[in-house]
Structure 1
Amino acid sequence: MTPPPGRRAELGAFLRARREQLVRADHGLPPAGRGRTVGLRREEVSYLSGVSVTWYTWLEQGRDINPSQQVMDAVSRVLRLDDAGRRYALSLAGLAPSSALGDAAADELPAHVQHLLDALGDNPAFALTPNWRIAGWNDAYERLYPNVARIPAEDRNLLRVVFTDPAVRALLADWPETSRRFLGEFRAETAARLTDPDLRAFIERLREDSPEFREGWARHDVQGFTSRERVFHHPDAGLVRYEHHQLRPSDVPGVQIVAYTPVV
């Protein structure tokens, strides 16, 4: 299966970004011209992976080719891609099956999911659609982030509010790290739909509205989700710590529930 042109271009940009960040000594290579210690040449990736220079160059150029699983695995190994990065590259190459998150049509929140959010009581929780629109939340989350009920529905997107709402920047005690992780997770989850017009329009608008997002998007960072501790400046309770969890209802797999539970 040949990946669409937009995904081929993204695959090329992703591979190039990873190649340019590699430490040469980690691959047993001496410094390059002018003592450069970071970044491999295409020829070096070709030699280390056993993939022809022409074929690897075509990959980075976004050519209309169909790389095999073996080729992508070899390139992923040399570029030191983690599991999330490897899945991202395979998806862009048309080799990974589309997940339930690829169904952008699942944009409305079923009533029973809202009931679950409400049942979480004092634990802040909200639900995201595949494009990360905040489709529902409970009272505890609204107390933590009051703006969620105030901003226009078309702007009520988690990635957008993280990068454009000053209230979120003040709320997050670790904004630089959180924004970087969210961007990497978003990119990993939307790899199969990068040619979707609505998604592309959303990304372009956010690139225009946020210099930090524009810079981060150009880095092509990809990250898988892991539960972790989060620290917030709560409007009423002051500094609070939560564990960040992500759940997916089996009957609505395109929706993800984000829940914060107190650190004990």
Structure 2
Amino acid sequence: MDVSVTTSSNALGAFLRDRRCRLDAAAFDLPTARRRTPGLRREEVAQRANVSVTWYTWLEQGRGGAPSADVLDRIARALMLTDVEREHLFLLGLGRPPEVRYRQSDDGISPRLQRILDALVLSPSIIKTATWDIVAWNRAAAVVLGNYAARAPQERNVLRMMFCDPSVRARQHDWESVARFVVATFRADAVRAGAAANVEALVEELSRASPEFAAMWREKEVGQHSGGTKMLHHPTAGLLALEYSAFTVDGRPDLSMVVYNPATPEVAAVVKRLIEAADADK
């Protein structure tokens, strides 16, 4: 028998057995005497997951067809899987990641993430939530994009600034085009992060405050914030060309990082002068 083929054809069962055997029966107040193998028994996992022992046994043996997402979710909880282990379980069992469970965190960002932002000296960079609240930025962003520290936390929302702040609107090279892009990308980001329900209050607020937002939201367009070029009217430096790229923060589906790189050496020199001038004014 080709052991490698057998193993790869039942990767789901192998993963389940491995995680089952890692659990400590004593931690679940289960008897530990007369156990021939470490970990929990199949029937114990099945009971915790509220599935039949036969069905769970078939899963470990690679029989019975693909499990449902609900069954995998219950097994993940029964086996005390971490988020990354749960995702791996779904990829093995269904060939796709699980539905995102949005969890808004009030913890802010880690010092490590802030150091990454600060290392991008001439690249204005921000970190935003799935509801597009800006929660972190670097010095270049404060100088080029706007002084976020001067705003109250609830006013650091990209959509609020875009549709309700005339100064932010004036910085856009083609406000209507940028606004449509922001709305379409925001809609896609919220759904992707599982945060669609969390943005309802914000959407209602902006729809009342801005007829333009209300009209764009009704169009139901979706977009992607992967990368491109942004033309920005700076109050003192004039028109700046910035190339942007967006990245998901690993392990934090509620956060994404957007980095704006000067498109030319000349723009980089302008950004450097702006930072130096701002630092001199301190």
TM-score range, shorter chain: 0.5 to 0.7
Q: TM-score, normalised by structure 2?
A: 0.55
Asked if the contact 1:230/1:244 (under 8 Å) is kept, the reply is yes
Partner residue in 2 for 1:194: 196
- Counterparts of 2:161 and 2:176 in 1: how far apart (Å)? 14
Q: Is the 8 A contact 1:231 1:241 kept in 2?
A: yes
**C-alpha distance after superposition, 1:114-141 (max 9, x if no partner):** 1111110011111101211100111111
Mapped partners of 1:172, 1:107: distance in 2: 31
Amino acid at match of 1:98: E
Q: Distance in 2 between matches of 1:128 and 1:107?
A: 13
Q: Which runs of 5+ in 2 are unaligned?
A: 1-95, 265-282
SS at match of 1:173: coil
Contact 1:104–1:131 (Cα < 8 Å) also in 2 = no
Judge conservation of contact 1:125–1:137 (CA < 8 Å) in 2.
Answer: yes
> What is the aligned partner in structure 1 of residue 233 from structure 2?
233
Output the CA distance in 1 between the equivalents of 2:99 and 2:166. 35
Q: Which residue of 2 aligns with 1:98?
A: 99
For 1:18-29, list aligned pairs within 5 A. none
**Cα drift, residue 103 of structure 1:** 3.0
Letter of the 2:108 counterpart: E
Aligned residues: 167
The offset of 1:107, in angstroms, is 6.1
**How far apart are residue 96 of structure 1 and its match?**
8.4
Say which SS state the counterpart of residue 190 (structure 1) adopts. helix
Quote how far apart the aligned CAs of 1:209 are: 1.2
Q: Could you give the per-residue CA deviations for residues 206-242 of structure 1, whole angstroms, max 9, x where no partner exists?
A: 1111111111111111112231111011223211101
CA contact (8 A) 2:131 2:195 kept: no
Taking the aligned partners of 2:206 and 2:140, their CA distance within structure 1 comes to 28
How far apart are 1:145 and its partner, in Å? 3.0
Who is 2:162 aligned against? Answer: 162
Alignment-derived partner of residue 27 in structure 1: none
Matches within 5 A, 1:60-75: none
Cα 1:185/1:106, change in 2 over 3 Å = farther
- Counterpart-to-counterpart distance in 1, 2:239 and 2:111: 32
How high is the TM-score relative to the length of structure 1?
0.58
Post-superposition offset of 1:248:
2.1
Structure 1 residue 195 displacement after superposition:
2.7
The answer to whether the 8 Å contact 2:122/2:262 transfers is no
> Per the alignment, in what secondary structure is the counterpart of residue 141 of structure 1?
helix
The DSSP-based 3-state class of the residue aligned with 2:197 is coil
CA distance, structure 2, for counterparts of residue 217 and residue 107 of structure 1: 30
- Native 8 Å contact 1:142 1:148 kept in 2: yes
Q: Which structure 2 residues correspond to residues 6-85 of structure 1 after superposition, within 5 A?
A: none
Aligned to 2:171: 171
2:236 and 2:141 map into 1 onto residues whose CA distance is 12
Residue equivalent to 2:31: none
Matches within 5 A, 1:99-118: 99=100, 102-105=102-105, 108-118=108-118
